[in-house]
Structure 1
Amino acid sequence: MTRNLVVIGVSTGGPLTLKALFRELPPLDAAFLIVLHITPQMDYRIAQGLDAAASMPVKLAEDGEYLKSGHVYMAPGGLHLQLTGNNRVVLCEGPRVNYVQPAADVTMLSLSKPLKGKLIGIVLTGMGRDGADGIKHIHDIGGITIAQDQQSSTIYGMPKAAAQTGAVDYVLSPQKIAGKLMELLRPV
């Protein structure tokens, strides 16, 4: 069971950016949930590649599963992922949101108070505005919000839309995001 949760929304340029971020991180006392815009054909391969680079185990999230601290979960391609009680995975079909499935907004908007620990929302490189409504929601319920900076983004669409909500606490490069996460979360 986890108290701390980090939810990451990412799209174009995602796999490389995620590797750059997770390569810097030691095992931390939080469950990490990644919503990457991917197809079902690619999800397993990308999770495997990230698992090889990360110090924490990485896997595709399964329906009904409880998130565990020190683990990284990826939303499977072609399904939306919601959380009940901020810690139990519910995978669902349904219409695309922001033209994508899985959508970071669907995951982020499913988070609720009370927060038992730290909730951190991050929007990384990508096209469009997925994650912007979610980041605002995380900020509104007391979470910490981070967007990738323009310089390090492959495409500065999603992080820019998130930053434009006025609800982003930090705008940082992946390396600095790793540093901020290490500051905010204890090692396992």
Structure 2
Amino acid sequence: MKAKNIVVIGVSTGGPMTLKTLFSELPPLDAAFLVVLHITPEMDFRIAQGIAASASMPAELARDAEFMKAGHIYLAPGGYHLKVEGNHRFALYTGPRVNYVQPSVDVTMFSFTRQSAGQLIGVILTGMGRDGALGLKHMKDIGATTIAQDQKSSVIYGMPKAALETGAVDYVLPPLGIAAKLVELLGRR
């Protein structure tokens, strides 16, 4: 079944540990989770396995033309940008780096459109640079709930700070607070 609720997470430096902390606290939720981590192709599969080991939901690499399913975690593969067509189906492509990275969470977030049903949630976690700031603002503009990691719990506060500076962040929380907010917003499966 296609996911009605979608959570898009952008993360970079400090990401694997932060993602493990976040997903180990989440029960199975009625949402598809799409994680865009600045990662190389050599590391993506191992990081997906690491997330799967600590999560209550299956985690895997996103595949081209695949439809997102609720209760699943998808990791954008290294070396590709990931767009979501019609808010449901993955489209992987190569192309120039955006914000010096590939995959770029800005590319993913800008591919979403306003939803008629279900919830769209954008999250920016620890990382260097500005990737995700404009994408999160776009998501807020199309009706999404937006969350940024707080400074104290971030390994590098660049990405969350840049997102916060757009004025488009609804909640600023540490990873455990983000997990609690997602449970509150999405409810258990």
TM-score after normalising by structure 1: 0.99
CA deviations over 1:55-87 (Å, ceiling 9, x no partner): 000000000000000000000000000001111
CA deviations over 1:97-138 (Å, ceiling 9, x no partner): 000000000000000023421000000000000000110000
**Aligned-partner SS, 1:73:** strand
**Aligned-partner SS, 1:40:** coil
> Which amino acid is 2:101 matched to?
V
Q: Kindly state the Cα deviation for residue 187 of structure 1 after the two structures are TM-superposed.
A: 1.1
Say whether residues 1:177 and 2:175 are aligned partners.
Answer: no
Q: 1:163 to 1:115 in 2, by over 3 A?
A: farther
**Aligned-partner SS, 1:180:** helix
> Which amino acid is 2:121 matched to?
I
**Matches of 1:156 and 1:108 in 2, distance apart?**
20
Equivalent in the alignment of 1:164: 165
Q: How does 1:1-188 map to 2 (within 5 A)?
A: 1-188=2-189
> Which amino acid is 1:118 matched to?
Q
**Aligned-partner SS, 1:184:** helix
**Matches of 1:64 and 1:177 in 2, distance apart?**
29
**Matches of 1:135 and 1:114 in 2, distance apart?**
15
Superposition misfits of 4+ residues, deviation over 6 angstroms: none
**Aligned-partner SS, 2:16:** helix
Task: Give me the CA root mean square deviation.
Answer: 0.5
> Which amino acid is 1:127 matched to?
M
**Aligned-partner SS, 1:41:** coil
**Matches of 1:143 and 1:47 in 2, distance apart?**
25
**Matches of 1:94 and 1:116 in 2, distance apart?**
32
Mark the runs of 5 or more structure 2 residues left unpaired by the alignment: none
TM-score after normalising by structure 2: 0.99
Point out the more displaced range, 112-121 or 78-87. Answer: 112-121
Mark the runs of 5 or more structure 1 residues left unpaired by the alignment: none
Q: Kindly state the Cα deviation for residue 155 of structure 1 after the two structures are TM-superposed.
A: 0.1
Give the number of aligned pairs: 188
> Which amino acid is 1:99 matched to?
Y
**Percent sequence identity over matched residues?**
68
**Aligned-partner SS, 1:83:** strand
**Matches of 1:124 and 1:144 in 2, distance apart?**
15
> Which amino acid is 2:43 matched to?
M
Q: Kindly state the Cα deviation for residue 28 of structure 1 after the two structures are TM-superposed.
A: 0.1
**Aligned-partner SS, 1:18:** helix
